[in-house]
Homo-oligomer: A and B are copies of this chain.
Amino acid sequence: MTTEKIPDIIIGRLPIYLRALQRLSDQGIQTTSSQDLGEVVGISAAQIRKDISQFGEFGKQGTGYSIAYLIEKLKDILKMDRVWEVIIVGMGDIGHALAHYNGFANRGFHVSMVFDNDPKKVGKTVGDFRVLDTASMIEKIKQHKIKVAVLTVPATSAQEAADLLVKAGIKAILNYAPISINVPEDVKVQYVDPVTHLQRMTYYL
């Protein structure tokens, strides 16, 4: 099985399939078809078959996909066969919400540290975490070999914080700050900005 050169748009759909399959599995369902899965995720059956076939032959004509097997394969492809340590940078409202979020643990991620540069926040407790000083961030990231960060600082601080993360060896940044950040080519960035998501929809209204 080769996982090279799969278009990014397909990679983007695989976590959606995985999430839906895990939910079906939680409900005790053991097999599914591209039609059924398509109805759950709102993607056409043909698209699902095409996406999944990129990675090998998973289903049998007429019997559908084994959910357990497909989950295992998707986890393998998405490197979810391990737990990724994650840090959160910025303990504002969104940082707080994510520090309290209990949906990471069973889906392949574990928040190991949270940071802020505000002396009023450093040392305080947020959920299960003691807030660490951003000044120690590079050292701590390197020490724990962390590769994944969630950035929840204000837009005005986002590039500076991203530069520190890159310097420390972070390779994937989930950026909640409403600003595009510049990083080297080998660092991946995903954006969460409620306004751009909303604007993408109002076009159609």
Q: Please determine whether A14 and B199 come into contact, CB atoms closer than 8 angstroms.
A: yes
A166 within 8 A of B: no
Q: Please determine whether B178 and A103 come into contact, CB atoms closer than 8 angstroms.
A: yes
Q: Please determine whether B200 and A190 come into contact, CB atoms closer than 8 angstroms.
A: yes
Q: For residue A2, give the distance in angstroms from its CB to the closest CB of chain B.
A: 13
Q: Is the interface on chain A under 10, 10 to 19, 20 to 34, or 35 or more residues?
A: 35 or more
**CB nearest to A148 among chain B residues:** B198
Q: Assuming the A-B contacts A78-B203, A97-B94, are A190 and B180 also in contact, with contact meaning beta carbons closer than 8 angstroms in the complex?
A: no
Stretch at the interface among A34-42, A57-65, A113-121: A34-42
Residues of B within 8 A of A23 (CB): 155, 179
Q: Please determine whether A190 and B198 come into contact, CB atoms closer than 8 angstroms.
A: yes
A12 within 8 A of B: yes
- A202→B83 CA distance, assembly (Å): 11
- A67→B66 CA distance, assembly (Å): 53
CB within 8 A of A78: which of B15, B100, B202? B202
- Contacts A77-B203, A148-B198, A172-B204 known; 17 new A-B pairs at CB < 8 A: A14-B199, A15-B196, A15-B199, A15-B200, A16-B180, A16-B191, A40-B182, A41-B180, A42-B180, A84-B202, A93-B101, A103-B194, A104-B194, A188-B201, A188-B204, A190-B197, A192-B192
